[in-house]
Amino acid sequence: MCKVIAIANQKGGVGKTTTTGNLGIGLAKAGEKVLLIDADAQGSLTASLGYENPDAMEYTLATALGKIINEEDIDPQEGILHHEEGVDLMPSNIELSGLEVSLVNVMSRELVLKEYLETIKDQYSYVLVDCMPSLGMVTVNAFAAADSVLIPVQAAYLPAKGLEQLIKTIQKVKRQINPGLEIEGILMTMVDGRTNYAKEIMQLLSEGYGDQIRFFKNNIPLSVRAAEISAIGVSIYEHDPKGRVAEAYRSLTKEVLAG
């Protein structure tokens, strides 16, 4: 059985891409077969895994979804990159922006990504989708294709405030398109444990959502080392294996595996 997890928050800069990469590589280190899908036209996940010029790539997620839309034959393995740390990646680039616009006129437009994943997911035990920081059509596609949504939230007021809209969108997709969709959990990121401010935000969220949504026990601490990894193309496990952030992602991996 393959589990598809969308990693989403409509606010940028909350650690979505870092979480997708490090959780995916953590799962691969635990012996799982993992596919990462970069569903953001900025290509942040692609770049952070060391593929420095996503816009020059000929075959990306936009290519694959375009073939689905045009009912062309698709080779599920085409375009998939094999990263040295044991995960596979379907990259993304700016072409996904154009595709998002054209999706508006497509029949069953919310289900195009799901149709693509049906061609490939039996080869993996986990598929993680790094969503773009918006609630547009590609993100709705990710929710329609996913078993669950993992929500990274920065321990700050505005990212916490935006959570309400995201949860409403997930509930709407669950009602109308994907009745099996669940919220995997809320992951607090960039947590500065020394400040009362971070603790207050976490308490606020816990009071607001704690009875209906799981909060991961492990928070991801604020760290310069974590900020560096996207520039050098490796995971935190390679860059700072004994650091607090690597330990936090190892613990998160265990929580996700435990279900």
Helix (H, G, I), strand (E, B) or coil at 199: helix
Q: What is the pLDDT of residues 113-125, one digit of tens each?
A: 999 999 999 999 9
Question: How far is Cα 10 from Cα 166, in angstroms, rounded to an integer?
Answer: 7
Contact between 5 and 150 under an 8 Å Cβ cutoff? The reply is yes
Q: What is the pLDDT of residues 194-207, one digit of tens each?
A: 888 888 888 888 88
CATH number of the domain bearing residue 95: 3.40.50.300
What the block records as the tokens of 126 is 């986990």
Band of pLDDT at residue 193, cut at 50, 70 and 90: confident
Q: How many CB atoms lie within 10 A of CB 111?
A: 18
Question: How far is Cα 154 from Cα 158, in angstroms, rounded to an integer?
Answer: 9
What the block records as the tokens of 129 is 């989708």
pLDDT at residue 159, as a whole number: 67
Q: What is the pLDDT of residues 246-257, one digit of tens each?
A: 999 999 999 999
Q: What is the pLDDT of residues 212-251, one digit of tens each?
A: 899 999 899 988 877 777 777 889 999 989 999 999 999 9
- Mean pLDDT computed over every residue of the chain: 91
pLDDT at residue 101, as a whole number: 86
How many structural domains are present in the chain?
1
Alpha carbon 154 to its chain's center: 15
Contact between 38 and 46 under an 8 Å Cβ cutoff? The reply is yes
pLDDT at residue 222, as a whole number: 87
What the block records as the tokens of 98 is 């154009």
Backbone dihedral region of 38: left (phi > 0), alpha (psi from -120 to 50 degrees) or beta? beta
What residues make up the domain containing 91? 3-258
